[in-house]
Structure 1
Amino acid sequence: MDAERMLVNFFYAQPVGHAIEALHYAHGHALAVPGREVSVALNAATATELAGFCPFVSATYPIDHPFLEPCADSAARVGGLPRDWDWVVDDTRRHQPLQYDLFPGMRDYYSASDGHLRAAVSRSVVGAHRAGYRPHQPLRLELPAAARSAAAARLATDRAPAARIAVMPAGSSDSSLYPSPSSWLLILDALTDAFPDVQIALVGRTARDERTSTAVSGGGLAQLRRHRSAPVDCFDVPLAEQLAVVEACDVLLSPHTGFGLAALAVATPWLTLSGGRWFEYYFNHVPFRSLLPDPDRYPSFTQFDPAAVVVDGEEGPRTPSMTRARIREDLDRLVTAAQELACGSLPYERALTEYFSGLKDVHRGDTSAIWSIDSVHLDHL
Structure 2
Amino acid sequence: MTERALVNFFYAQPVGHAIEALHYCQGHYAANPDREIAVALNAATPVELASYCPAVSAAYAIDHPFLEPCPDGGGRLDGIPREWDWVLDDFRRYQDIQLSTFPGLRDYYAASDRHLTARSGRSVVSSPAAGYLRHQRLRLALPEPARTAAAARLGDHPDRIVVMPAGSSPSPLYPSPRSWTLVLDALHDEFPDARIVLLGKLAKSERTATSFGEEALASLLAHRSRPVNCFDLPLAEQLAVVEASGVFLSPHTGFGLAALAVGTPWLTLSGGRWFEYFFNHVPFRSILPDPERYPSFTQFDDAEIVVDGADGPRTPSMTLARITEDLDRVVLACRELMDGSLTYEQALRDYFPALVAAHRGDASAIWSIDGVHLDYL
Q: TM-score normalized by structure 2?
A: 0.99
Q: Deviations over 1:140-177 (max 9, x none)?
A: 000001000000000014xx34x210000000000000
Quote how far apart the aligned CAs of 1:73 are. 3.1
Matches within 5 A, 1:196-345: 196-345=192-341
Quote how far apart the aligned CAs of 1:75 are. 4.5
The answer for unaligned runs of 5 or more in structure 1 is none
Equivalent AA in structure 1 for residue 336 of structure 2: E
Equivalent AA in structure 2 for residue 226 of structure 1: A
Q: Deviations over 1:269-308 (max 9, x none)?
A: 0000000000000000000000000000000000000000
Tell me the number of residue pairs that the alignment of Structure 1 and Structure 2 aligns. 377
* Counterpart-to-counterpart distance in 2, 1:72 and 1:114: 13
Identity level (%):
69
Equivalent AA in structure 2 for residue 174 of structure 1: P
1:71 matched to 2:67? The reply is no
Matches within 5 A, 1:163-178: 163-178=159-174
The more displaced of 221-230 and 280-289 is 221-230
Which residue matches 2:186?
A: 190
* Counterpart-to-counterpart distance in 1, 2:207 and 2:51: 18
Matches within 5 A, 1:140-179: 140-157=139-156, 160-161=157-158, 163-179=159-175
Quote how far apart the aligned CAs of 1:33 are. 1.0
Equivalent AA in structure 2 for residue 282 of structure 1: F
* Counterpart-to-counterpart distance in 2, 1:345 and 1:34: 34
Matches within 5 A, 1:22-171: 22-157=21-156, 160-161=157-158, 163-171=159-167
For 1:302, what is the secondary structure of its paired residue? coil
Quote how far apart the aligned CAs of 1:72 are. 4.2
Which residue matches 1:372?
A: 368
1:358 matched to 2:354? The reply is yes
For 1:59, what is the secondary structure of its paired residue? strand
Equivalent AA in structure 2 for residue 153 of structure 1: A
Q: Is the contact made by 1:278 and 1:301 (CA closer than 8 Å) also made in structure 2? A: yes
* Counterpart-to-counterpart distance in 2, 1:351 and 1:312: 32
Equivalent AA in structure 2 for residue 331 of structure 1: L
* Counterpart-to-counterpart distance in 2, 1:166 and 1:9: 32
* Counterpart-to-counterpart distance in 2, 1:38 and 1:53: 14
Q: Is the contact made by 1:75 and 1:113 (CA closer than 8 Å) also made in structure 2? A: no
For 1:202, what is the secondary structure of its paired residue? strand
For 1:333, what is the secondary structure of its paired residue? helix
4+ runs of 1 displaced by more than 4 Å? Answer: none
* Counterpart-to-counterpart distance in 1, 2:281 and 2:139: 10
The answer for unaligned runs of 5 or more in structure 2 is none
* Counterpart-to-counterpart distance in 2, 1:214 and 1:344: 30
Quote how far apart the aligned CAs of 1:196 are. 2.0
* Counterpart-to-counterpart distance in 2, 1:106 and 1:72: 10
* Counterpart-to-counterpart distance in 1, 2:161 and 2:100: 40
1:14 matched to 2:13? The reply is yes
* Counterpart-to-counterpart distance in 2, 1:304 and 1:235: 29
Q: TM-score normalized by structure 1?
A: 0.98
For 1:252, what is the secondary structure of its paired residue? strand
Q: Is the contact made by 1:191 and 1:335 (CA closer than 8 Å) also made in structure 2? A: yes
* Counterpart-to-counterpart distance in 1, 2:190 and 2:245: 17
* Counterpart-to-counterpart distance in 1, 2:294 and 2:215: 27
* Counterpart-to-counterpart distance in 2, 1:260 and 1:231: 20
* Counterpart-to-counterpart distance in 1, 2:362 and 2:57: 41
State the superposition RMSD in angstroms. 0.8
Q: Is the contact made by 1:75 and 1:116 (CA closer than 8 Å) also made in structure 2? A: no
* Counterpart-to-counterpart distance in 1, 2:68 and 2:284: 36
Quote how far apart the aligned CAs of 1:34 are. 2.3
* Counterpart-to-counterpart distance in 1, 2:320 and 2:301: 23
For 2:38, what is the secondary structure of its paired residue? strand
* Counterpart-to-counterpart distance in 2, 1:230 and 1:140: 31
